[in-house]
Amino acid sequence: MARARDHAGADDLPALLDFASRSLTERFPLDAGWHPGDLTWELKDTQGAPQDMRLWETAGGLVALAWRIAPGELWFEALPTDEHLIAEALDWAEASAARPLRVRSLEGDTRRAGALEARGYRLTSPEGVRFRRDLNDEIARPALPPGMRLRDCIGIDPGARAASHRDAWNHLAHIGLPKARSSFSVETYQRLAALPGYDPSLDILVEAPDGRLAAGSLCWADPVSGMGTFEPVGTHVDFRGLGLARAATLEGLRRLRARGLRHARVSTAHFNAPAIATYRSAGFEVIDHMAWWERSLP
């Protein structure tokens, strides 16, 4: 029987990453909620502080994870043998929900959908698109405009790397987010680079002739599951529409395959049409959609 406990902080990171690898492996071909790279990216700013997270574990490791990622929003994942723990996760989340609770889930996960419906939840709104690519398939060579080149983050200046992220994520009016601002700093990048799984040779950038970093595609390799993932991908506001994110992602795919990985995955918001087009053009196929299930609490 699984024992439930609260997240304890930095000491739990190895267990979380192991759980992400196992869930990717054991749920395949259905996708999993997190890749180890997703968790590392999400936790980069916390400096090891405990999260609003509930863990279920056995002698073999974590088997389920519930994360109140924001007030009234629950992200849940479990190994296939422990899917029943969603009932306990909902009990935990509902007990302190300050507003109507909504739960993120894959539309194709019919077992979880049934559990949510039985609990009184209803599918209400889209959240994201999930893509996957078989790395055994042919991967096109990246093509760049004249004078631009691909590079990685080996030996990168941390300030330039941090600025490149802000240059992409401070300017999102084209996808309906005009007030978006990034807090990604030199310190953020340095914390990220020190975390497990970050590989500067998989942090792919496009450099413009004037030395500016015009686009980036950070990929993460998980040898346990054989799955790579991309998080995040972005292009400097001055260089959009040139296919730079596609080129950086294709280079990442080629490097993942060279490391022996079998598949790659990526996600984006359901309304992010430019990202959806980029991933399709890089050979990814839609495998599922994330959606919100909601229930009004008494």
Residue whose C-alpha is closest to residue 36's, from 28, 25, 45: 25
Q: For the segment 262-289, what is each residue's pLDDT rounded down to a tens digit?
A: 999 999 999 999 999 999 999 999 999 9
Backbone angles phi, psi at 267, to 5 degrees: -135, 155
CATH number at residue 218: 3.40.630.30
Number of separate domains in the chain: 2
DSSP characters for 20-41?
Answer: HHHHHHHHTTS--S--HHHHHH
Pairing status of strand 3-6 against strand 53-58: antiparallel
d(C-alpha 145, C-alpha 32), whole Å: 36
Categorize the per-residue pLDDT at 298 as very low, low, confident or very high, splitting at 50, 70 and 90. Answer: low
105 plus 163 within the same structural domain = no
171 plus 225 within the same structural domain = yes
40 plus 79 within the same structural domain = yes
161 plus 193 within the same structural domain = yes
Mean pLDDT of the 237-249 span? 97
Kindly tell me if the per-residue pLDDT of 96 is higher than 90.
no
64 plus 177 within the same structural domain = no
115 plus 205 within the same structural domain = no
273 plus 245 within the same structural domain = yes
204 plus 144 within the same structural domain = yes
DSSP characters for 58-122?
Answer: ETTEEEEEEEEEETTEEEEEE-GGGGGGHHHHHHHHHHT-SS-EEEEEETT-HHHHHHHHHTT-E
25 plus 113 within the same structural domain = yes
Domain that holds residue 184: 134-289
Q: What's the pLDDT at 100? A: 79
Query: Residue 254 corresponds to which tokens in the numbers above?
Result: 């080629």
56 plus 164 within the same structural domain = no
pTM over 0.85: yes
Q: For the segment 52-74, what is each residue's pLDDT rounded down to a tens digit?
A: 999 999 999 999 999 999 889 99
165 plus 101 within the same structural domain = no
Q: Which residues are CB-neighbours of 37 under 8 A, at least 6 positions away? A: 197, 219, 220, 222, 228, 229, 231
161 plus 269 within the same structural domain = yes
Q: How many CB atoms lie within 10 A of CB 151?
A: 15
